[in-house]
Each structure stands twice: as structure tokens, then as C-alpha cells.
């Protein structure tokens, strides 16, 4: 009856899990997705942000402009046919003339801030001086613009941050005998596979022999990194799996153990995913990378359970429960983190771990019958143990000075030399990289423009409000007053042959503006709730602290967010250690510090060794420490409580994790490599110190060995009698 | 105003850095950096009864820059160095000049001794007669042609006259007379 209920419960749980897996949540892949950018409490529109951070720069280079132009046309057609939209390529010919024609039609609306804030007399005097000087000819004939307001506006117009010029309707540059034509395409960033296809399509487009294609921008970096990581991960997965299979087979000498291990792993992963999908509507794929400790723990549980067999169940279950609780203590604080990735890692790990643990508890113990292997006894003098611990502490202390965070993009990511050359070329052609986007929010476009204008009064830069001013009414009122007060004086000062009189011009309306300047739509992002103007600005534009104004630098933002999360994770790690200390105190009383020591030395020693090797620490190192502590407590609990019986499963479990994570440290994707390094080193140190501290002390009960007496039995006596003895 | 500083600089750089050739024009242009000049300017503006006249001094020093000091009717000083410009008390980077990038290539080429850039601005007509040389430049590059209709230069051993005709009908004529004075230490921004 009991078994029927169990089967029903298991069956229902399985069906529920499958149902959840069939309708997974939304997945995020980019690191920037983890750190939403906010202006006050309003997040920047994600689509708009992706548009500006996911631009692909396509530059065609050729000594022959016509050939490059034909190639560019062909490429543009192919890209649009493939569904790539909003490509910046064709620009209106004679843009300046068009712009001046437009401004002329609405000239009373265009007055510089400086002019509007001056007295009418000062404006008249300046106009007289300018008309007379050889350095200042006028944009419009004097009859149309006697106070030179339009000339003043055009001549003081800030230059857009770009060195590209229009030539025959495309963005062009000529440098060192070569023609360069620019296209900018916003690629589909959310779907990495689609983005890769799009880049591939661009690369495959046939070009004339003399034309070279240069690609740069965030999508190319993503594509190259993804391609490289995919290959590396495939190789590493095969090697890790091979290692796992060999070690499992070596431990149990039966293929049945492989199946049982895989089943445990499958259940762990399924439970982890179910928990994750239930609690997190949006899941970041990094969760699976940092939740990979689950694999190690599932393998651990399998090894211990199967190795002990039905006879050793009670002792193993006791150790397993302690181990499970210590891991829970380690990950529970992450559930209270405000950082979504930490929360997801905790949910995934705890869900999977709980599932595996319950499964191991209720599942019948299979008969694997591992081979009887002599397990050597390891004996250390207390003095040696103290010396080892002192060495560990010394390593930690030696490296503490080098624990400094560095989240510079170069630490987290290093592009290939070829891609670096492409980026350098684009930077040379495009001018000094702004790297800084100004986002201004408004409930309406005019509100956003007014805020942008007030910022431009403090520091001039090119933005949408240059061509579409918000304060048109004030400008028009000023112009009217100027004509009323100064017309006669101007006429007499210059000796004009015509009557200076005010003429009304229509205000600029949005529709007319977009008809004339469609390209300027790149400066606007609209959401159902608000409107944003976006423009690249120089580094010296000051941040005045307006809640609706944000200066966004992707690299800086990411760096600051990671710094913040790393700092937060110190506290969480401390809480984990405190909880662990409390639990170990309850379970092992006075020995609790000893149980904690391998994990402490393992985790802190890892940071110190990496620092001594000159590696800068990142948030991902700190995140790796949670996994190190969570997994290494398992080694400690088993080795301390039953050193000889558990030695082989712990050793093999450690080796599987060490190989898996160690191989990951060779991946070119820094975040994964950091995790691999931290875990391999941390687990190695923790295992080593667990082993050292769990070895028999020569001067306590095992001191008898030296005197030729039998040591105290600590478990299975039959093997211990035959075992080798190691002294240190 | 900044835009026109750019055009003005372009003209000056033509003289200062054009390749040395055996034409009288290039010899004359080259002589621009051989001391200071007195200038007399006449500016003809449509719809204005009489031309605006002004005079002052100007000097160009190769690799250092240019100074233009107007003395009458209102004194002002314009100085340009390879990277900066100042007009009376206002100063700025040449790189910040709006639209300067459009002609920067030509200026840079001329500064490095390549007068081909001049031909990229527009059509160049050259004539020598009785030891005098005449150059007419008709801009065809859209962004220059938008504002400048024609540039005329004239000289003998040294440049003696230039005329710039703008598309709005404005015309500026300047006569140059060499003087033995040195303002090179004032070329600083």
C-alpha cells in the first residue's frame, strides 16, 4: 500500500514537472539583463536599451567608391530581405541644405538660448558687428534674417558625435586612399541563434574583390564568444562526462551504478528546474552555470548511498542529512538577496538538492556491490595537522592584501586580436567613442525635449532638441519683441535698403518635423507610458541629478552593478558561515569550528591564491565561494564522521567535480572560467584540509600504532586490519 | 560663426602648406608665411547701401598658426593654432567647430603638404600673365558650395588680393601689403 502511494506521488510529481518543463519561463542570456537600468524608479525601456547597445557596425572599405557603393547596396538589400529592419544606411543627399530649408520655414522658433536670454539691444549690436566683419557671413540673405538669428543658430549648432559625411546618399569617409561606407544595423539581441544567422548572412554576401568588410559592435562580440564557447563547452562536456563515467565505473565496477547515478542527477535537475520555473518567471541562463554544484552534490549523494549499500544505510543517511542541512544553510541566505541571479541560483540548487535528497531517502537502495578495496589509514601527528592549518591560514593572510575587486570590461572579457583591430578601425573612423548615452524621460516628447534643452543650456551637445526645440513659444515671443524694439536702430546702423519688419512663421509641429528628419527618429524611444530622447554625449556633460535624466555607460553600469553585488555578497557569505556554524554547533557541539575549518580555508585560500597569482577578484569569484562552501561541507561531514568508509566515495566525488570544474577554467568565456577556477581550487583545498583534519591523530587513540598495538576500529574492521598505514 | 572660422582657416592653410611647385601661385602662396601683411577689407552685403570697410594686420606662421588683428572700425583679434582658435576672449578647440569635420580632411592634407585637397573642394582655374597669377576656385563640394560661390586669389611674388563670394550675395575683398613687423609671438591660444 505504502509503495503504491509512493509511486502515485512520484508519478504525479513527475507529470507536474514535465508540464512545467513544457512551458518554460522567459530566458535571459545577456549579462546586462541581470542589471536593469533605472531612472529614479523607472526602468529604461529594455527594447530601446537593446537597440542602442546591440548595434552592428558594418563598414565597407574599398579604393573604388562606386564598387563599395554597389556592394553596400547589395548587402543592404540582402539584409532587408532577411528581415533586418531599421538599418541606418541611406541618408538624404544634401542634408545641410534640407536642414536649413526646414529651419528657415520655422525660423522664429529657432533662437539660441544665449540669444533668448540676452537683451534685445545686445542682440542688435552683435548683429551689426557680425554683418560688418569679414569672419561672419550670413546663412540667409540679410533681408530674410536681418538680426542674423538664423545664422547664429546654425553656426552655433553643436556637431553630432560622428565623423561620417554624406556622399551620394550614404554615410562615407575617405582616408588614406580608401573609401569607407557605413551601415548600422540593430540586430536581434534576444535570440542569439537568430543574431548569429544574421551575422553569417552578412559575412556570406559576395563582395567585389577590392572591397573589404569590417564588422564591429556588441553583436559581433556576442557571436564570436558564443561560437568559441560552444565549441569549447562541447569538448569539455565530453571530457567531463568521460571522466565521470570512468570514475564512477572505477568506484563501483558496474554499469548499473552509471544508470543509478544518472537517474539521481536527472531527478535533481528536474526538481531544480521545477522549483526555478515555479518561483522565477524570468530565468537567466547563468543560473544553470552557477547552479552546477547541484551536479556535484547529486553525484555525491549517489556515490555515498550506493557505496554503503543497504547495510550501511543508517550511518550514510545520517551523514547525508548533515551534509544536506549544511548545504541548505549555505544557500538559504541567497534567497534573501535582492539580486535575481543569486535568488535563482539558490532556488535551483535548493530545489534540486531537496529533490535528490528526498529521492535518496525514499528510494530503495540498489545492490551495486562495490568491490572491496583496501582503504589505507592516514595518520598524522597533531603537530603536523597544526602546521598544515597554520600553512593554510598563512596562505589566506598572504593573499588578503590582493583581494580587490575589479570589474573592468577587460577583466570580464577579452576580444580576439582580429576583433580588436576591427574595433580600433571603427573608433578611428567614427571619432572618439561617446560610450555615454543620455536618456531623458518625459510623459510626452515635448516634456522630454524641454528637459534635454535645459541640460543643453548648461553644456552644449547635439540632441534632438537642437532641431526640434521645446521652448518655441518663448523663442517666438522674443523674436517679436526684438523686431518691435530694435528694427529702426538696426536699419539705421547698417544702412539697410529695406524695411525691417517682423514676419510670422509657423511653429514646428511633430508631423512636419518627422517628415523632414526621419533619421532623427533614432533619437527617440517610445513606450506606452512615456517618451525618451536618447543621444550620445561627451564625457564632460554634467549630471545635474534630475530624476528623469540618466547618463548611461553600459561598461560602467555593469562594473558598478557587479561591484555592488560583490559587496552585498560579503554579507550573505558571512550569514552563510554563521548559519553553518550554528548548525554544526547543534550537530557536533565543540567540534563545530573544526568542521568549518576546511571550508573556510578552502574558500578564503582560493581568493588568496588567485590574488597572489595576480588575478583581480570579481563578483563571480564570490559567487563561486557559495558553491565551494556548499559542496565542501559534504566532504568534511563524511570524512570527519566516517573517514575510512567514506574516503573512496568522497575522493571519487571530489575528483569528478574537480575535473569538471577544472576543465571549465580553460574556457575563453571569463565568467565561466572564473567559476571553474574558483571551484576547482576551492574544492581542492577544502578536500585536502578535510582529509588532513580527518586523518587519525598519532598522539591520540592512533598513537598506539607506533607502539605496535592495533588502532581503534572506526567502522569496518575487516578492511582496516589489512590496510596500509601512512605516517607523517 | 565657428563654421566660417573653418572656411577661413581652410583658405589660410592653402597658402601655408601647399606643395612647393614651380607655379607662381604656389610661390606666392608659400610667401604668405614670410612676414606680416597689412590688409584692407571691403565687405559688400546685399541690401546694404555701402560696403563695410575695415583694416588690420595678419600674419601666418607655418606650423604655428595665424593671427588676424582688425584695427578699424572695431578692434578684434582672431588667432588660430593647429588645435585651438580664439576670437577676442572666446576660445575653443578646432575639433569642436561644427561642420569643421567636413573640411578637416582638406585642411589636414594641406597641412601635410598635399594640395590635392584643394581640388577636392572644387574646380580650380589658374592663369599666369605678366608675372601675375590668378586663381579661381569654384567650390563643388556640397557643404562648401552651400555657402561659398567662388574664391579668387591674385598675386605677384606674394599674394596681394583675395575675394570670397558667398551664395547669399555677400562678397568680401581683401588687399594685402607686406609689412616688416612680426606678430608671431602673439599666435597663442
Q: What is the mean pLDDT of chain A?
A: 83
Contact B102 A138 (CB under 8 A): no
Give the pLDDT band (50/70/90) at residue A252.
Answer: confident
Give the residue numbers in B contacting A (CB under 8 Å), as ranges: 1-5, 8, 41, 43, 45-50, 52, 54, 68, 70, 73-74, 76, 78, 87, 96-102, 105, 142-143, 146-147, 164, 166, 168-170, 172, 174
Distances (CA, A) of A566 to A104, A307, A336, A617: 55, 39, 15, 9
Complex ipTM = 0.76
Provide the pLDDT for residue A646.
Answer: 83
- The CATH class that applies to domain B2-186 reads mainly beta
Average pLDDT over residues A325-354: 90
Provide the pLDDT for residue B148.
Answer: 85
A110-124, B37-51, B157-171 — which is least confidently predicted? B157-171
Q: How far is B129 from chain A (nearest CA, A)?
A: 29
The CATH superfamily label for domain A223-412+556-708+722-727 reads: Multidrug efflux transporter AcrB transmembrane domain (1.20.1640.10)
Average pLDDT over residues A553-574: 84
Q: How far is A154 from chain B (nearest CA, A)?
A: 9
* The pLDDT of residue B68 is above 60: yes
Q: What are phi and psi of A32, to 5 degrees?
A: -70, -20
Q: Which chain A residues are Cβ-neighbours of B53 within 8 angstroms?
A: none
Provide the pLDDT for residue B158.
Answer: 78
In tens, the pLDDT along A211-237 reads 999 999 888 988 888 788 778 878 887
Q: What is the mean pLDDT of chain B?
A: 74
Report how far residue A616's alpha carbon sits from residue A621's, in angstroms, rounded to the nearest whole number. 9
- Is the pLDDT higher at B168 or at A201? A201
**Grid coordinates belonging to B124:** 580650380
Instruction: Measure CB to CB from residue A129 to each of B48, B74, B96 and give the nearest one.
Output: B74
Q: How far is B92 from chain A (nearest CA, A)?
A: 12
Provide the pLDDT for residue A483.
Answer: 96
* The pLDDT of residue A608 is above 90: yes
Give the pLDDT band (50/70/90) at residue B136.
Answer: confident
A294-308, A364-378, A379-393, A568-582 — which is least confidently predicted? A364-378
Give the pLDDT band (50/70/90) at residue A376.
Answer: low
pTM score: 0.68
Report how far residue A699's alpha carbon sits from residue A707's, in angstroms, rounded to the nearest whole number. 11
Report how far residue B39's alpha carbon sits from residue B66's, in angstroms, rounded to the nearest whole number. 14
Instruction: Convert A502-534 to b/e letters by CB count within 10 Å (16 or more is b).
Output: eeebeebeeeebeebbeebebbbbeeeebbbbb
Provide the pLDDT for residue A716.
Answer: 39
Please indicate if any CB of chain B lies within 8 Å of the CB of A94: yes
* The pLDDT of residue A699 is above 60: no
Q: What are phi and psi of A506, to 5 degrees?
A: -70, 150
What count of Cα atoms within 13 Å lies in the side-chain half-sphere of residue A1? 0
A127-136, A499-508, A671-680 — which is least confidently predicted? A127-136
Provide the pLDDT for residue A702.
Answer: 45
Top-ranked range on mean pLDDT: pick from A278-287, A478-487, B75-84: A478-487
* The pLDDT of residue A391 is above 80: yes
In tens, the pLDDT along A455-468 reads 888 888 888 999 99
Mutate to test the interface with A, among B10, B39, B46 (most CBs of A within 10 A): B46
Contact B2 A495 (CB under 8 A): no
Average pLDDT over residues A577-601: 90
Q: Which chain B residues are Cβ-neighbours of A496 within 8 angstroms?
A: 47-49
- The domain segmentation of chain A, as residue ranges, is 223-412+556-708+722-727
Give the pLDDT band (50/70/90) at residue A4.
Answer: low
Give the pLDDT band (50/70/90) at residue B5.
Answer: very low
Provide the pLDDT for residue A677.
Answer: 92
Closest by alpha carbon to A427, among A726, A117, A57? A57
E strand or H helix at A463: none
Report how far residue B51's alpha carbon sits from residue B54's, in angstroms, rounded to the nearest whole number. 10
* The pLDDT of residue B4 is above 50: no
What is the DSSP track for A58-109? EEEEES-HHHHHHHHHHHHHHHHHTT--S-B-B--TTHHHHHHHHHHHTGGG
Q: What percent of chain A has pLDDT over 70?
A: 87
In tens, the pLDDT along A113-151 reads 889 889 999 999 989 888 887 776 677 888 899 999 998
Instruction: Convert A441-472 to b/e letters by CB count within 10 Å (16 or more is b).
Output: bbeebbbbbbbbbbbbeeebbbbbbbbbbbbb
Among A residues 156-185, those touching chain B with beta carbons less than 8 Å apart: 156-159, 163, 165-166, 174-175
Average pLDDT over residues A516-522: 81
Report how far residue B93's alpha carbon sits from residue A546's, in angstroms, rounded to the nearest whole number. 29
Contact B1 A154 (CB under 8 A): no
Report how far residue B18's alpha carbon sits from residue B24's, in angstroms, rounded to the nearest whole number. 12
Q: How far is B34 from chain A (nearest CA, A)?
A: 23
Amino acid at each position: 500500500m505504502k509503495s503504491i502511494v509512493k509511486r502515485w506521488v512520484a508519478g504525479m510529481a513527475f507529470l507536474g514537472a514535465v508540464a512545467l518543463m513544457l512551458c518554460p519561463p522567459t530566458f535571459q542570456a545577456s549579462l546586462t539583463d541581470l542589471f536593469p537600468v533605472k531612472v529614479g524608479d523607472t526602468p529604461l525601456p529594455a527594447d530601446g536599451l537593446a537597440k542602442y547597445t546591440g548595434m552592428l557596425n558594418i563598414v565597407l572599405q574599398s579604393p573604388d567608391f562606386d564598387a563599395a557603393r554597389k556592394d553596400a547596396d547589395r548587402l543592404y538589400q540582402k539584409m532587408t530581405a532577411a528581415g533586418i529592419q531599421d538599418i541606418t544606411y541611406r541618408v538624404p543627399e544634401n542634408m545641410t541644405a534640407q536642414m536649413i530649408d526646414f529651419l528657415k520655414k520655422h525660423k522664429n522658433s529657432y533662437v539660441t538660448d544665449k540669444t533668448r536670454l540676452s537683451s534685445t539691444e545686445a542682440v542688435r549690436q552683435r548683429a551689426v558687428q557680425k554683418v560688418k566683419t569679414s569672419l561672419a557671413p550670413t546663412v540667409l540673405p540679410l533681408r530674410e534674417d536681418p538680426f542674423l538669428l538664423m545664422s547664429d543658430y546654425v553656426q552655433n549648432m553643436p556637431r553630432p558625435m560622428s565623423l561620417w559625411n554624406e556622399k551620394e546618399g550614404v554615410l562615407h569617409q575617405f582616408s588614406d586612399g580608401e573609401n569607407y561606407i557605413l551601415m548600422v544595423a540593430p540586430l536581434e539581441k534576444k535570440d542569439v541563434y537568430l543574431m548569429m544567422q544574421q551575422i553569417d548572412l552578412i559575412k556570406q554576401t559576395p563582395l567585389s574583390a577590392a572591397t573589404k568588410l569590417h564588422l564591429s559592435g556588441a553583436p559581433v562580440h556576442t557571436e564570436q564568444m558564443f561560437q568559441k564557447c560552444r565549441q569549447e563547452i562541447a569538448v569539455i562536456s565530453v571530457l567531463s562526462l568521460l571522466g565521470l563515467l570512468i570514475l564512477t565505473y572505477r568506484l563501483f565496477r558496474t554499469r548499473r551504478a552509471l544508470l543509478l547515478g544518472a537517474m539521481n542527477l536527472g531527478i535533481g535537475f528536474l526538481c531544480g528546474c521545477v522549483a526555478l520555473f515555479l518561483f522565477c518567471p524570468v530565468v537567466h541562463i547563468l543560473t544553470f552555470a552557477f547552479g552546477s554544484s547541484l551536479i556535484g552534490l547529486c553525484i555525491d549523494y549517489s556515490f555515498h548511498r550506493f557505496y554503503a549499500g543497504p547495510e550501511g544505510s543508517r550511518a550514510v543517511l545520517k551523514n547525508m542529512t548533515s551534509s544536506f542541512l549544511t548545504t541548505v544553510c549555505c544557500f538559504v541566505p541567497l534567497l534573501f538577496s535582492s539580486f535575481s541571479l543569486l535568488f535563482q541560483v539558490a532556488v535551483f540548487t535548493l530545489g534540486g538538492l531537496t529533490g535528490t535528497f528526498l529521492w535518496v531517502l525514499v528510494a530503495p537502495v540498489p545492490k551495486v556491490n562495490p568491490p572491496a578495496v583496501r582503504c589505507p589509514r592516514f595518520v598524522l601527528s597533531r603537530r603536523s595537522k597544526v602546521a598544515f592549518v597554520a600553512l593554510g591560514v598563512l596562505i589566506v593572510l598572504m593573499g588578503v592584501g590582493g583581494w580587490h575587486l575589479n570589474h573592468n570590461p577587460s577583466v570580464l572579457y577579452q576580444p580576439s586580436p582580429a576583433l580588436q583591430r576591427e574595433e580600433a578601425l571603427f573608433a578611428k573612423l567614427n571619432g572618439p567613442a561617446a560610450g555615454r548615452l543620455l536618456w531623458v524621460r518625459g510623459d510626452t516628447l515635448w516634456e522630454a525635449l524641454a528637459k534635454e534643452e535645459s541640460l543643453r543650456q548648461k553644456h552644449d551637445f547635439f540632441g534632438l532638441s537642437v532641431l526640434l526645440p521645446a521652448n518655441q513659444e518663448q523663442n517666438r515671443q522674443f523674436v517679436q519683441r526684438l523686431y518691435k524694439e530694435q528694427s529702426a536702430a538696426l536699419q539705421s546702423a547698417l544702412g539697410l535698403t529695406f524695411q525691417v519688419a517682423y514676419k510670422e512663421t509657423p511653429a514646428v509641429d511633430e508631423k512636419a518635423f518627422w517628415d523632414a528628419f526621419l533619421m532623427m527618429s533614432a533619437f527617440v524611444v517610445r513606450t506606452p507610458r512615456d517618451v525618451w530622447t536618447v543621444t550620445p554625449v561627451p564625457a564632460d556633460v554634467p549630471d545635474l541629478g534630475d530624476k528623469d535624466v540618466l547618463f548611461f555607460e553600459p561598461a560602467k553600469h555593469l562594473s558598478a552593478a557587479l561591484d555592488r553585488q560583490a559587496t552585498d555578497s560579503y554579507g550573505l557569505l558571512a550569514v552563510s558561515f554563521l548559519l553553518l556554524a550554528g548548525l554544526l554547533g547543534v550537530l557536533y557541539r565543540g567540534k563545530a569550528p573544526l568542521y568549518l575549518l576546511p571550508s573556510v580555508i578552502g574558500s578564503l585560500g582560493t581568493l588568496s591564491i588567485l590574488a597572489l597569482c595576480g588575478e583581480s577578484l570579481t563578483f563571480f569569484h564570490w559567487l563561486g565561494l557559495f558553491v565551494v562552501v556548499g559542496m565542501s561541507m559534504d566532504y568534511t561531514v563524511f570524512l570527519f564522521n566516517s573517514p575510512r568508509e567514506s574516503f573512496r566515495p568522497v575522493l571519487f566525488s571530489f575528483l569528478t567535480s574537480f575535473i569538471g570544474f577544472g576543465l571549465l577554467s580553460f574556457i575563453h568565456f571569463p565568467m565561466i572560467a572564473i567559476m571553474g577556477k574558483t571551484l576547482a581550487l576551492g574544492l581542492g583545498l577544502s578536500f585536502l584540509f578535510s582529509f588532513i583534519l580527518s586523518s587519525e591523530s598519532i598522539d591520540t587513540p592512533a598513537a598506539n600504532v607506533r607502539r605496535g598495538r592495533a588502532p581503534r576500529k572506526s567502522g569496518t574492521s575487516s578492511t582496516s586490519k589489512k590496510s596500509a598505514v601512512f605516517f607523517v | 560663426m565657428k563654421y566660417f572660422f573653418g572656411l577661413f582657416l581652410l583658405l589660410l592653410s592653402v597658402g601655408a602648406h601647399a606643395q612647393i611647385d614651380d607655379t607662381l601661385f604656389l610661390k606666392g602662396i608659400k610667401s604668405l608665411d614670410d612676414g606680416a601683411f597689412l590688409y584692407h577689407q571691403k565687405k559688400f552685403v546685399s541690401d546694404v547701401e555701402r560696403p563695410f570697410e575695415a583694416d588690420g594686420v595678419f600674419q601666418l606662421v607655418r606650423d604655428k598658426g595665424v593671427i588676424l588683428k582688425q584695427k578699424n572700425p572695431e578692434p578684434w583679434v582672431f588667432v588660430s593654432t593647429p588645435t585651438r582658435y580664439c576670437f577676442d576672449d572666446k576660445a575653443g578647440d578646432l575639433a569642436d567647430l561644427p561642420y569643421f569635420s567636413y573640411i578637416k580632411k582638406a585642411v589636414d592634407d594641406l597641412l601635410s603638404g598635399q594640395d590635392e585637397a584643394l581640388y577636392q573642394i572644387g574646380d580650380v582655374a589658374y592663369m599666369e600673365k605678366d608675372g601675375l597669377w590668378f586663381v579661381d576656385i569654384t567650390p563643388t563640394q556640397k557643404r562648401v558650395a552651400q555657402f561659398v560661390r567662388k574664391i579668387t586669389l591674385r598675386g605677384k611674388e606674394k599674394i596681394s588680393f583675395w575675394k570670397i563670394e558667398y551664395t547669399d550675395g555677400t562678397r568680401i575683398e581683401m588687399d594685402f601689403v607686406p609689412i616688416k613687423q612680426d606678430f608671431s609671438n602673439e599666435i597663442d591660444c
